[in-house]
Amino acid sequence: MLESARAARKNRSVASLDLARILSLACMATLFVLPACGRFGGESSEPEAAVLSLDDPLEDEADLGAEVAAGAEEPEASAQPTRASAPLEQPEAQPASARAGMNGVKALDTWHRSLPASRVDVLDLCSGESASALADLQRAMNGEAKSYRASVRMEIPGSLGEEFARYAQAYADGDVEQLATALQPTPDPSPAWMVWTEALARMAVEQEEDRLGGAALGRLVRGMLNLGYSRDLVLELRPLAEGLGRRAAASMEYDTYAVESGEAMYNVRLKLRREGQKLNYRWISEFNGKGNYNLRVGEELKIPRQELHVEVWRGARVTAVFAGERPIRIYPCSVGRPGEETPLGNFTLEICETNPVYYGVTPAVPYGNPENPLGDRWMGFKEKTSYGIHGTNDESTIGTRETEGCVRMHNSDVRDLFDLVPVSTAVAIHG
């Protein structure tokens, strides 16, 4: 009986101990699970806690190992892809016409103020339609005017503003003649007016309508300089101006003169001067398509009725020669340094010398001396005799503001100007 009682107490103790162990394990499981539940909202920054199983893991591992060893298939992975493995959606490619960017007046102004070599880069900043319209216009300026006119007759570009479209319509309806009528001179030129004025100049010259092209180029040059375009952009127009000079006789009025025996270009010039015509060798020679000053007895010269005048833009450091309203030369130049600025106003060329001596210091510096700053030519002003236009002893200074107030030019350019314009030529210097 005693042994039976002891056995019963032992069984109850073991049962109590097992129950205590079960309760202890259950509590531990609860402690491990709670932090991973997100109970307080949000995702925990701590690693997710493992959940303790009450099942014997060794039995499960043993059973799984037995299934693999027997050749049983492993459980298939879930067919549901994880978020990390989902492919990224690619945006649909947009056509060029839908590209965002500059439009209208801003696109016109930015494009036109850029050097021709850089304009293709500006197109990348414009909206698709504006870029396409500007690229078409650039091709028209580069010799494809006929195809451009055909395209605008079919569809007027509207992305560059109403004013641009109005000029395009005028060009489509009447070619350069009607475009010139639409582009009446204005004291306040807009970007559309500037762009189409350059287009008119280039397209008219291409069609040998130099009367229209020359007038348009003159308005373009003045507009660029007055609106603060870069000097490099203005100098890009030099070949166009020089071409107009060489072909001037085809579109400008002239008289004829029969060369007499023994006459040279010098004699012809003096005779014309006595008759009140202020012309110089190179302008007469160029007007007649000659590459030199040689004459033949009986040769009939075309004598231009239009005299030349010179204009200087101090701020841009640019000098231009005009035959009436058309520019025939555009030169870079230097002007006075701060405190010794080149004087503004209207002047007249009076003392013009080759191989000049510099009298600005004592003793005077002869021509050819490296210290002589006048270079190959001197063209002094009647109204201010200490100022004028001259060459240089340092070609690298052209384009700067470092003279004592004179207009300084490359020696090759000042020689050309010296032969082109005579004494008494008018010179206007702008700010």
pLDDT tens-digit readout, 196-206: 999 999 999 99
Q: What is the DSSP letter of 396?
A: G
Residue 183: count of CB within 10 angstroms of its CB: 24
**Using only C-alpha atoms, what is the Rg of the chain?**
44
**What's the mean pLDDT in 58-73?**
40
For CA atoms 245, 247, 249, 251, the dihedral sign is negative
Distance CA 298, CA 287 (A): 18
Most confident of 78-82, 120-124, 380-384: 380-384
Residue 120 is which amino acid? V
pLDDT of 23 reads 44
Q: Which two tokens stand for residue 397?
A: 């200074």
**What's the mean pLDDT in 95-112?**
75
- Selecting among 126, 333, 352, 406, the annotated active-site residue is 406
pLDDT at 7 over 50: no
pLDDT of 104 reads 87
Number of H helices, E strands in the chain: 14, 12
**Does residue 307 contact residue 352 with C-beta atoms inside 8 Å?**
no
pLDDT of 77 reads 41
Alpha carbon of 364 to those of 271, 292, 360, 416: distances in Å? 36, 35, 7, 26
**Does residue 241 contact residue 318 with C-beta atoms inside 8 Å?**
no
Is position 390 annotated as part of the catalytic site?
Answer: yes
Q: What angle do CA 16, 19, 21 make, to 5 degrees?
A: 110
pLDDT of 201 reads 97
Domain boundaries, the chain: 97-248, 253-304, 308-430
Is position 406 annotated as part of the catalytic site?
Answer: yes
77-81, 111-115, 183-187, 308-312, range with the lowest pLDDT: 77-81
**Does residue 237 contact residue 330 with C-beta atoms inside 8 Å?**
yes
For CA atoms 401, 407, 408, 414, the dihedral sign is positive
Distance CA 124, CA 119 (A): 9
Q: What CATH number has the domain spanning 308-430?
A: 2.40.440.10
**What's the mean pLDDT in 118-136?**
93
pLDDT of 81 reads 42
**What's the mean pLDDT in 263-288?**
93
**What's the mean pLDDT in 359-386?**
96
pLDDT at 82 over 70: no
Residues with Cβ within 8 Å of 289's Cβ and at least 6 positions away in sequence, in order, are 246, 249
**Average pLDDT over the chain, rounded to whole?**
83
Distance CA 219, CA 240 (A): 14
1-10, 65-74, 108-117, 396-405, range with the lowest pLDDT: 65-74
pLDDT-based confidence at residue 34 (cuts at 50, 70, 90): very low
**What's the mean pLDDT in 263-272?**
93
Burial of 333-343, coded b for 16+ CB within 10 Å and e otherwise, reads: bbbbeeeeebe
pLDDT at 90 over 90: no
- Selecting among 112, 333, 390, 410, the annotated active-site residue is 390
Distance CA 308, CA 283 (A): 9
Residue 122: count of CB within 10 angstroms of its CB: 19
253-304: which CATH topology?
Membrane-bound Lytic Murein Transglycosylase D; Chain A (3.10.350)
pLDDT at 50 over 50: no
pLDDT at 95 over 90: no
Tokens 């060009």 correspond to: 171
Tokens 């579109």 correspond to: 251
pLDDT of 156 reads 95
For CA atoms 150, 155, 157, 162, the dihedral sign is positive
pLDDT-based confidence at residue 13 (cuts at 50, 70, 90): very low
**Does residue 131 contact residue 98 with C-beta atoms inside 8 Å?**
no
**Does residue 279 contact residue 303 with C-beta atoms inside 8 Å?**
yes
pLDDT of 100 reads 57
| pLDDT 10s digits, 278-306 | 999 999 999 999 989 999 999 999 999 99
pLDDT of 66 reads 39
Q: Name the residue with higher pLDDT: 6 or 249.
A: 249
Smallest CA-to-CA distance from 404 within 383, 391, 386 is with 386
94-108, 240-254, 344-358, range with the lowest pLDDT: 94-108
pLDDT of 103 reads 79
